């Protein structure tokens, strides 16, 4: 009766066994294609590129203040049902046209023009550093999604191998039970292992589908996208030492560069406020025309001169602005110092994470070899009746766990490399 129950359960489990979904209809992308597509879609990176454009125009504006005066053109046309007096020409007309061109140039602004230019350049440097940081942050997220698909595909393969081994061992156990070489509980234990393996395979297939949909979202596809590995994944030794990585992160790392630029901008803004305490000299010129035609030329007048102003007291608005600017500068300096220490820590952590993951992957590969050899021994001993079913099941589970750990270690190494490149702001290996 127990054998009939086992056969019935095995038949029912076979009907419910997972089906591997075909991947031919799913579009595929390489890592390079995914990185290029994600860079155009990530809102943070698009925002960083927009900030560069804004900062460039602010710098152009600050530079133009030294060269180009402010120019404005205005005109007005007045019609009346009865003749009216034209103030400009002194005559009477039904239609009055007035036009004016104004020029204004700030000759001296207490040094604020110079410091505003320094501030604009610092803000552009900050925007450039932010763009690099956003680009590598996008690359890290893209690689995470890309390698997640590859890892889930490998885990599906591991789960399929576990299911296949459980099916083969169940057939062997049934034969040994029928021959009287094993007890009937051996088949029940293996049937339980087969059921667990099939459940795990279902979970891995579901996780793979979700990972492919997430990769599709990352590259702008409405459906799932499969990851295509253009070349085998390797984990080479890093081309720089840990001290060099720290020095490079502090020298050209985007986070520290941005902190330095922000401190420079805040310091320039603080110094620019002092310009409000000094006299301000401006040159102005104006061309005016009056008449009845669209281009008034009946009477023209040119006015020019200079303007000197010295604010004495503006209800403490300058003092408030100076205090706020000083606070912003002090905060920016504190952020810069803390960012420098944080970048040092991040560089060391990322460097060690890559080396640790690389060593873990090598050990995981050795563990797979040992687990596979141990399973072969246990299978031979079980067929010969020299071991128990529990030892065989333990070796099967150990092999599956070792293979899964190897998969995770390999792709963890790649993500650790991407994290180090994010801190450094440059690629260490082409991919």
pLDDT tens digits, 314-358 = 888 899 999 999 999 999 999 999 999 999 999 999 999 999 999
At residue 24 the predicted structure's pLDDT band, cuts being 50, 70 and 90, is: low
Task: Give the mean pLDDT of 345-373.
Answer: 94
Mean pLDDT lowest among 95-99, 117-121, 181-185, 426-430: 181-185
What lies within 8 Å, CB to CB, of 297 at 6+ separation is: 289, 291
Yes or no: say if 288 and 303 are a contact pair by the CB < 8 Å rule: yes
- % of residues, the chain, pLDDT over 70: 91
Yes or no: say if 204 and 152 are a contact pair by the CB < 8 Å rule: yes
Q: Is the dihedral of CA 321, 325, 328, 330 positive or negative?
A: negative
Half-sphere exposure in the Cβ direction for 197 (13 Å, CA): 30
Q: What does the alpha-carbon distance between residue 253 and residue 294 come to, in Å, rounded to a whole number? A: 60
DSSP label of 100: E
Q: What does the alpha-carbon distance between residue 375 and residue 16 come to, in Å, rounded to a whole number? A: 27
Element (H, E) at 288: strand 280-291
Burial readout 46-71 (b: 16 or more C-beta within 10 A, e: otherwise): eebeebeeebeebbeebeebeeebee
Q: Between 93 and 331, whose confidence is greater?
A: 331
Yes or no: say if 270 and 331 are a contact pair by the CB < 8 Å rule: no
Task: Give the mean pLDDT of 371-391.
Answer: 82
Give 300-361 as a DSSP string: EEEEEEEEEE----STTHHHHHHHHHHHHHHHHHHHHHHHHHHHHHHHHHHHHHHHHHHHHH
Q: Is the pLDDT of residue 13 over 60?
A: no
User: Angle, nearest 10°, between helix axes 112-179 and 389-424?
Assistant: 170
- Quick one: which of 270, 289, 314, 278 has its CA closest to 106? 278
In the block, tokens 């922000």 appear at 262
pLDDT digits (tens, 9 = 90+) for 280-305: 999 999 999 888 877 788 888 899 99
What lies within 8 Å, CB to CB, of 247 at 6+ separation is: none
The three-state secondary structure class of 124 is: helix
Q: Is the pLDDT of residue 8 over 80?
A: no
Q: Between 392 and 261, whose confidence is greater?
A: 261
Q: What's the pLDDT at 9?
A: 42
Task: Give the mean pLDDT of 119-126.
Answer: 96
pLDDT digits (tens, 9 = 90+) for 307-323: 999 888 888 889 999 99
CA angle 66, 330, 49 (to 5 degrees): 55
At residue 16 the predicted structure's pLDDT band, cuts being 50, 70 and 90, is: very low
Yes or no: say if 95 and 77 are a contact pair by the CB < 8 Å rule: yes
Report H helices in 240-316.
242-252, 254-273
Q: What does the alpha-carbon distance between residue 329 and residue 270 come to, in Å, rounded to a whole number? A: 7
The three-state secondary structure class of 429 is: coil
Q: What's the pLDDT at 58?
A: 94
């Amino acid at each position: 009766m127990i054998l009939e129950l086992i056969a019935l359960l095995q038949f029912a489990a076979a009907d419910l066994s997972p089906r591997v979904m075909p991947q031919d209809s799913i579009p595929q992308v390489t890592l390079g294609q995914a990185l290029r597509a994600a860079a155009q879609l990530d809102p943070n990176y698009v925002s960083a590129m927009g900030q560069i454009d804004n900062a460039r125009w602010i710098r152009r504006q600050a530079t133009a203040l030294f060269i180009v005066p402010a120019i404005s053109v205005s005109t007005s046309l007045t019609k009346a049902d009865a003749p009216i007096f034209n103030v400009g020409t002194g005559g009477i007309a039904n239609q009055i046209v007035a036009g004016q061109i104004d020029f204004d140039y700030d000759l001296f602004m207490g040094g604020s023009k110079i410091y505003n230019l320094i501030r604009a350049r610092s803000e552009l440097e900050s925007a450039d550093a932010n763009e690099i940081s956003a680009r590598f942050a996008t690359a890290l997220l893209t690689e995470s999604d890309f390698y997640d698909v590859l890892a889930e595909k490998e885990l599906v393969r591991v789960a399929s191998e576990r299911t296949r081994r459980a099916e083969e061992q169940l057939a062997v156990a049934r034969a040994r039970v029928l021959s009287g070489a094993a007890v009937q509980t051996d088949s029940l234990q293996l049937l339980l292992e087969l059921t667990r393996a099939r459940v795990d395979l279902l979970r891995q297939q579901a996780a793979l589908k979700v990972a492919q949909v997430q990769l599709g979202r990352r590259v702008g596809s409405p459906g799932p996208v499969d990851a295509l590995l253009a070349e085998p994944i390797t984990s080479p030794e890093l081309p720089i030492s840990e001290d060099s990585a720290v020095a490079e992160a502090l020298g050209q790392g985007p986070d520290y560069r941005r902190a330095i630029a922000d401190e420079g901008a805040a310091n320039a803004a603080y110094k620019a406020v002092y310009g409000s305490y000094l006299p301000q000299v401006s040159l102005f010129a104006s061309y005016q025309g009056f008449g009845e035609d669209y281009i008034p030329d009946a009477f023209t007048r040119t006015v020019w001169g200079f303007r000197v102003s010295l604010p004495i007291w503006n209800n403490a608005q300058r003092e408030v602005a100076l205090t706020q600017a000083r606070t912003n500068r002090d905060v920016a300096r504190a952020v810069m110092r803390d960012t420098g220490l944080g970048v040092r820590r991040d560089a060391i952590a990322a460097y060690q994470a890559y080396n640790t993951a690389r060593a873990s992957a090598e050990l995981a590969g050795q563990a797979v070899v040992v687990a596979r050899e141990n399973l072969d021994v246990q299978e031979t001993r079980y067929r010969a009746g020299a071991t128990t079913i529990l030892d065989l099941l333990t070796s099967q589970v150990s092999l599956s766990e070792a293979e899964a750990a190897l998969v995770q270690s390999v792709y963890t190494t790649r993500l650790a490399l991407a994290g180090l490149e994010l801190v450094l702001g440059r690629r260490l290996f082409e991919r």
